[in-house]
Structure 1
Amino acid sequence: MKNKKEDLIHNSSIVEQDILPEDYQFNLSDFALFLFVMKRRKAYECTLSIILDEPNIKLADVKVEQVVLNKSGKRAIRLDAWAMSTDNRQFNMEMENHSKKDFLPKHSRYYQGMLDSPILKSGKKTKYKHLPSTVIIFITQDDLFGKDLARYTFTEQCEEVENLHLDDGTKKIFLNMISKNGSKELVSLLQYMKETDIENPEIVVKDERIIELDHIVTEVKESEEWEAVKMNILEVGIKKGEALGEARGEARGLERGIEAFVLDNREENVPEERIIAKLAKRFELTEEKANEYYKQYAK
């Protein structure tokens, strides 16, 4: 287990890309802008239409950041962008920029159960056949399955009999912004999400739905509500940057102190084992970490 001083050195290596510069241009792949845009029904319809290849899909209801509690109330999920279509199908879209931090296939499994649980009520009148069809969509910047596809679709089917589907009404879709292997419309949509500029050269076809989506993105970015949220995000980023700078400065000072301590003791011909022990005590390090620093600076 790390102690405070080891944590200081470790935390000073925070990835800088998590801290946004003041002139940062937000993309749809950014969680905040994604939510702001997807709560517009037309934007959700345009996006879903391309993903599912359904030109005429219509939505009856759209909600963002909807919280769904489990029965005990101990574990909840916060849905990024939920929708119900006019033909009673349920959808949920998740923008996942850190897909490697969790196992998304099981993540999707948990979401499926949580989405179904509020629908079924106790009593004989409630039938399982009343469960709506559900499509869960994860949009990522990683190829989770390593097959270089822009879209991976999973449904339940029999392993013994080919093309025998369970027809339980569930579907899970994983979208990959890296791959260009998919329909021109889908690839263009994903590239637009990655770099939200209608003149992005990676957009191979300017589908009318992407153009409509771009109009909505422009409206959102020009709104006072988005401007307030954006400034708040950037302000938090500036504070993180300042804190990171201070942490790095302190960490560098600590490492220089460790280096000087090792070299001074070496000049006094203090035995290696004794230097490591003194180093661990003086700088509150584990013996293993003190040994690493000794080897690094004793050279």
Structure 2
Amino acid sequence: MNNEISIQDDFVFGSVMSNKKLCQQLIQLILPELKIDRIEFPTVQKTIQETQFNHGVRFDVYTKDQDGVVYEIDMQVRHTRGLPQRVRYYQGRIDSEMLKHGQRYAALRRSFVIFICPFDPFGQGLHRYDFLSYCKQEKSLELGDGRTAIFLNTKGTKDDVSKDLRNFLDYVDNKDVVNDEYVDELKDYIHNLSKNTEWRNDYMDNKTHMMFHDEDVREEGKQAGIALGKKEGLALGEKKEIAAGKMETIRGTISLLREAGLPEEQLKAKVQSQFDLTDQQMQELFK
């Protein structure tokens, strides 16, 4: 495992935000205009199960405050297409969880979907983009449906957020931040986590699992495999014992797992088991 464990990793971020105090501090840092006296114990990696009618969803951090306001916070490391649609879907699933059968629509509480991005999702140089629903004809008229989407951008260049929030975003961006009480608390918490053997094992198991099962990571692995194939002079249409498309994904996944610091023997076992490869195929991949 790499010595530097970044809060950008969603498992690390979820582990840190499972600390009630640190989670509440972050929400208050992002939304200083709200008075948050307390929050529920944060639910990390909260899953709303997929059904035959609905796509499942997994939230990185999900919690409520003393007034029932919902806060969903996700670390979005990859600049993939469909982020606005993901917010829309998240908000819909939050509402469906919030409103029980027989309740009136007015019972819906406010909700905030907050994406933390180590990239600029809209290319305007802002550190934060807040989205509400407004009337197209009269911009001063707000719908007032209680839903807010916030994109935090660690690459912002504008002077548009508080120093404390800027320090947090700089820390997420792996910049050196000093003399900031909240960032120091985050550093200490992660440092203590990293010394826990059980947590480190869970961290690596999660990273490996995500390499195999996360849609975005699979695509990243496929693209990495295509790049490797081109570098090694492999023709995509060439007939091999493993289909070219599958070979690309496997090679890319191996490359990503190596970057993540997975020990070679453990990597081989995971790859062979996941892709059901023969010993001969493994020799070809790891020669």
CA shift at 1:185, angstroms? 1.4
Distance of 1:213 and 1:49 partners within structure 2: 15
Aligned to 1:174: 151
Note if 1:34 corresponds to 2:13: yes
Highest relative contact order (Cα 8 Å, sep 6+), 1 or 2?
1
Aligned to 2:66: 86
Aligned to 2:117: 140
The one-letter code of the counterpart of 2:131 is F
5+ residue gaps, structure 2, are: 211-220, 241-287
Q: Secondary structure at the match of 1:61?
A: coil
Give a deviation string over 1:167-225, Cα, whole Å, max 9, x none. 11110000111114232211110111222xxxx53x3x744333333332233223333
2:56 to 64, 76, 80: 76
The one-letter code of the counterpart of 2:153 is N
CA shift at 1:153, angstroms? 0.3
Note if 1:223 corresponds to 2:203: no
Provide TM-score, normalisation by structure 2. 0.68
Distance of 1:87 and 1:218 partners within structure 2: 33
Give a deviation string over 1:143-166, Cα, whole Å, max 9, x none. 111110110001112222242211
Note if 1:152 corresponds to 2:129: yes
| Contact in 1 for aligned 2:95/2:108 (Cα 8 Å) | yes
Provide TM-score, normalisation by structure 1. 0.65
Count of aligned pairs = 227
Give 1:94-133 correspondences, 5 Å limit: 94-99=74-79, 101-123=80-102, 126-133=103-110
Structure 1 window deviating more from structure 2 (151-160 vs 215-224): it is 215-224
The one-letter code of the counterpart of 1:96 is Q
Residue 233 to residue 107, structure 1, CA distance change in 2 (3 Å):
closer
CA shift at 1:53, angstroms? 2.2
CA shift at 1:88, angstroms? 1.3
Distance of 2:81 and 2:121 partners within structure 1: 11
Distance of 1:78 and 1:236 partners within structure 2: 15
Distance of 1:209 and 1:254 partners within structure 2: 50
Q: Secondary structure at the match of 1:159?
A: coil
Aligned to 1:192: 171
Residue 225 to residue 138, structure 1, CA distance change in 2 (3 Å):
same
Residue 248 to residue 42, structure 1, CA distance change in 2 (3 Å):
same
2:141 to 164, 171, 175: 164
| Contact in 1 for aligned 2:118/2:172 (Cα 8 Å) | no
Residue 148 to residue 253, structure 1, CA distance change in 2 (3 Å):
closer
Distance of 1:236 and 1:122 partners within structure 2: 36
Percent of aligned pairs sharing the same letter: 29
Structure 1 window deviating more from structure 2 (158-167 vs 226-235): it is 226-235
Distance of 2:229 and 2:172 partners within structure 1: 36
| Contact in 1 for aligned 2:29/2:165 (Cα 8 Å) | yes
Aligned to 1:53: 32
Q: Secondary structure at the match of 2:61?
A: strand
Aligned to 2:217: none
Distance of 2:99 and 2:229 partners within structure 1: 56
Give a deviation string over 1:220-267, Cα, whole Å, max 9, x none. 223333222245468889xxx9xx99x959983756xx9xxxxxxxxx
Q: Secondary structure at the match of 2:98?
A: coil
Q: Secondary structure at the match of 2:15?
A: helix
2:186 to 192, 213, 233: 213
5+ residue gaps, structure 1, are: 1-21, 259-279, 286-299
Residue 87 to residue 233, structure 1, CA distance change in 2 (3 Å):
closer
Distance of 1:50 and 1:164 partners within structure 2: 27
